[in-house]
Structure 1
Amino acid sequence: MDTARCWELVEAARAAAGPGWSDLDERLEQALVAGLAPLPLAQLIAFEVRFAELQRRLDRPDVYLAAYLIGLGCGDDTFTDFRAGLVGLGRDWYDRVLTDPDQLAEHPAVHAIAAGEVPRDTLMTEGFQFAPMVAYERLTGDDEGFWTALDAASPPPASPEPERAAPTRCNLDRLAALFPDSLASLARHYPHLTGT
């Protein structure tokens, strides 16, 4: 499965999940499981490999800061959930975030979070990222085989990437303006990220 086909399945799940931001994680998970269920098991595993690659591309300090600002804090697991949520927004928004995470300030879900209309963890989609595993378990009845199949299908690990230097200040001005409480928390706990 190539990346384009992976995106087709993600976009179909996003469309099937429907509008609105309440219960986004649950709706995305259900839609993706339904979309993956007709696939041969090898294709389902190949989807997971591509899906994980998309999430890895978002593993950057500036994306982490966006997650922190939107969520009023962000741990490792939450950041993983946030990256899955960004994939779940679809390819257009994914590409925009790769270019500049501050563009999230224009997204309607982020505005709904800032307005207090939906929870701050709306974009943290834990269930969505595990949809391939759920689909595999439903198809096979095997709740452990997914990881074995994934290990067998995953490419060997590449040489480790050099560590990235931490940003010297927060460059997400539009997101910071939407979430001043998060900016204050950043300034208090991580002053080197905000330049204060």
Structure 2
Amino acid sequence: MNELTKIGKKRTILISISILLVSIHTIYFYHSVRPEIESKKLITQLIRFVLTVGLLIMVYKGKNWAKIISIVLFSLGLLGALIALGTLETPFINKVPLLVMIFVYSMAIYHFGFAKSFKEFFKYQNSETGIKETFQDSKQLMESEKFWKIIETTKSKSLGDYENQQSELEKELSKLTANEVLEFDNKFRTLRGEVYNWNFWAAAYIINGGCSDDCFSDFRGWLIGQGQLIYENAIKNIETLTELKETNDGDWEGLSYIATDVYEKKTGNDMPQGIQENFEITGEEWEEDENDLKKRFPKLYTKFGME
């Protein structure tokens, strides 16, 4: 479950609780201003309350029909509250519950109908309620030919747009079994670990004008996304990266997380450990000094405007 999905889940729960509290207060207020409780009316209200609880549970579970009914009912409730607010001749303090109702119903309509976080949570819940594939803890790597074919396909379809490439990779991985997705991720992390090297960090540093640990991890994931030829040529000679026509302005985050998201949607479980990625950096360390970088990587230094 990604961060946006978690936000959608949290807000769905909070809005649902708010709606139920409004319903409880409405029932209480109705009977508190009357000399005695109207039993039939109370029973009707309690039945409606139970139905509302059930409807919100179905919305939480990702049922589209429940979402549509909820939006319609909350819209009608909002309209009724607005009419009451404008027509009731009563002190302002007595109108506060109506204002709260208007606010809660408005938030519910927006959240269920338009919020990106709810759409992500709704999509996640629908994937969760489907038939899940079995999974196994595997350290098997995807074959290189198959792996690079997937990468090249996503790069070709995205026409060089890195954000689109992430979407295309999600589509391609969704066609695989859960275990194949795990094998893809194992291969991806193996390749990323193989270039955990000072020369590659220097390249990322020069291209981006600085590069932290996280930035370097994202850079290596992005580099894999550029395809087999660019990746393998860079291993042979890091300065072949001067042939890159586009570096996405250093915005390299994203590709590394796609397999994990797809796996979770397919299985309803977190991605298992798989292989252990290499975190022992290799090569000769460089100094964060222009002269040292310029001397050791002259072509990269010239190409990416640090001279």
Query: If the length of structure 1 is used for normalisation, what is the TM-score?
Result: 0.73
2:259 — aligned with what?
Answer: 132
Shift of 1:167: 4.1
Tell me, yes or no, if the aligned pair for 1:58 and 1:98 is still in contact at 8 Å.
Answer: yes
1:166 — aligned with what?
Answer: 285
Higher RCO (CA 8 Å, separation ≥ 6 residues): 1
Tell me, yes or no, if the aligned pair for 1:29 and 1:129 is still in contact at 8 Å.
Answer: no
Structure 2 residue matching 1:108: 3-state secondary structure: coil
CA distance in 2, matches of 1:173, 1:74: 18
CA distance in 2, matches of 1:40, 1:106: 36
Tell me, yes or no, if the aligned pair for 2:196 and 2:280 is still in contact at 8 Å.
Answer: no
| Residues 1:162 and 1:131: Cα distance change in structure 2 (over 3 Å) | closer
Confirm or deny that 1:14 pairs with 2:155. yes
- Match for residue 120 of structure 1 among 246, 249, 252: 249
Q: What do the CA deviations read for 1:38-91 (whole angstroms, capped 9, x no partner)?
A: 111111101100010111111110110000000010000000000011100000
How is 1:70-109 mapped onto 2 (pairs within 5 angstroms)?
Answer: 70-109=207-246
How large is the Cα RMSD of the aligned pairs? 2.3
Letter in 1 for 2:181: L
Tell me, yes or no, if the aligned pair for 1:54 and 1:87 is still in contact at 8 Å.
Answer: yes
CA distance in 1, matches of 2:228, 2:282: 27
Query: If the length of structure 2 is used for normalisation, what is the TM-score?
Result: 0.48
Larger Rg: 2
| Residues 1:43 and 1:30: Cα distance change in structure 2 (over 3 Å) | same
Tell me, yes or no, if the aligned pair for 1:72 and 1:120 is still in contact at 8 Å.
Answer: no
Higher helix share: 2
Letter in 2 for 1:71: N
Confirm or deny that 1:154 pairs with 2:275. yes
Gaps of 5+ in 2: 1-141
CA distance in 1, matches of 2:284, 2:241: 23
Letter in 1 for 2:213: D
Shift of 1:102: 1.1
| Residues 1:16 and 1:70: Cα distance change in structure 2 (over 3 Å) | same
| Residues 1:108 and 1:180: Cα distance change in structure 2 (over 3 Å) | closer
CA distance in 1, matches of 2:282, 2:231: 23
1:115 — aligned with what?
Answer: none
1:42 — aligned with what?
Answer: 179
2:34 — aligned with what?
Answer: none
Letter in 2 for 1:177: T
